Structure 1
Amino acid sequence: MDEQVAIYTYGDPDGHVVGVAPRSEVRSRNLPHAVTAVLLRDQDDRIYVHRRTDTKDLYPGMHDAFAGGVVLAGEDPAEAAARELAEELGVTGCAVEPWLTYWYSDEHTRSLVYAFEARYDPSRCGPVVHQASEVADGWWLSRAELAARLADPNWPFVPDGRVTLAHYLRREGR
């Protein structure tokens, strides 16, 4: 079934929903919509990075440091963030805190990014369990390890994730 996705006015910083469209139409027409991006950090300040499956509809097979996805029609972005973290990585029970909202655009997507951070504690959040249809593999990386991988032009990383990480590191003063 084609999910119903909330449509936004492109560039509106307040994120007003102006309609609804099936996910397939959002992708085919590059309609402006909202997405969530949840950065998962552990107690050692490492970041969880994963490789997307080759069957993903956007940026297949690339690496990402965010669990996330589209905000469905009628869904609150914070609820969508918690849902996506649970769906993609099996993580529940972690506080999901907002830290940035901004517009991202490229030839494949126009999205209002609602970025969140979750602190992972295995005693509260359970084990990381990949959703087989979305996540092919994953591991924890230190910031230095992630920065080294991002500096490698042959390491495929989702473009919106690069931008969101840059915002995050600026916020952290790094």
Structure 2
Amino acid sequence: MTVTSSEHELVDVLDAAGSVVGTAPRWQVRRDNLLHRSVFVAVVNDTAELLVHRRADWKDVWPGHWDLAFGGVVDHGEAWEAAAVRELAEEAGIAAELVYLGEGRYEDAVVREIARVYLARHDGPVSFHDGEVTEVEWVPLAAVRAWLEGREVCPDSRDLVLPRLDAP
């Protein structure tokens, strides 16, 4: 396994109640599937379309899958919204006001996270300088569920973001 600099970043480890109980390097959080904090930012434009993207094939979790939101792991000691702002800028080159949509928990054999979901209104442009994104599409919000059919989609963003986009 090639270790990148992001794998050495420290991440807060959580207990079942969501309280910080320690820290671990990102690689260990992934390897041991430790409960941690993450953020998602759904980007919607003025014509009610969601910006979806395909993840790079080198990503440590769900490589090559489509994702409904930009985001990622919250660094050790980092505030939730600061992480969302950072991730949106790093992954999409977007600086936009964020609207908090809610918090949820996702757990499977690959990822265990407590996540906060945000919405950013943005019409473009977008840029993908860090290489985490390989393809994008604008999908009408009303058609997102149909668009998901037959595509490999990150299950955490599907389960945590999609219901919050459906909310009135």
Q: CA deviation at 1:47?
A: 0.5
Residues 1:155 and 2:161 aligned together: no
Q: Normalised by the size of structure 1, how large is the TM-score?
A: 0.88
Residues 1:5 and 2:20 aligned together: no
Alignment-mate amino acid for residue 101 of structure 1 = E
Alignment-mate amino acid for residue 160 of structure 2 = T
Q: Give the ranges of 4+ consecutive aligned residues of structure 1 lying more than 6 Å apart after TM superposition.
A: none
The structure 1 residue matched to 2:77, chosen from 71, 74, 78, is 74
SS of equivalent residue, structure 1 residue 113:
strand
Residues 1:164 and 2:166 aligned together: no
**Identity of matched residues, %:** 36
Instruction: Give the aligned partner of residue 58 of structure 1.
Output: 61
Contact preservation (8 Å) 1:130, 1:137: no
SS of equivalent residue, structure 2 residue 161:
helix
Q: Report matched runs for 1:10-159 at 5 Å.
A: 10=16, 12=17, 15-92=18-95, 94-122=96-124, 127-150=125-148, 152=149, 154-159=150-155
Q: How many residues align?
A: 162
Q: CA deviation at 1:4?
A: 0.6
Q: Which runs of 5+ in 1 are unaligned?
A: none
Q: CA deviation at 1:67?
A: 0.3
SS of equivalent residue, structure 1 residue 19:
strand
Partners of 1:27 and 1:98 in 2: how far apart? 26
Q: CA deviation at 1:19?
A: 1.1
Superposed CA RMSD: 1.4
With over 3 angstroms needed to count, the CA separation of the structure-2 counterparts of 1:54 and 1:23, relative to structure 1, is: same
Partners of 1:162 and 1:146 in 2: how far apart? 10
Q: CA deviation at 1:132?
A: 4.3
Partners of 1:53 and 1:132 in 2: how far apart? 10
Partners of 1:66 and 1:169 in 2: how far apart? 11
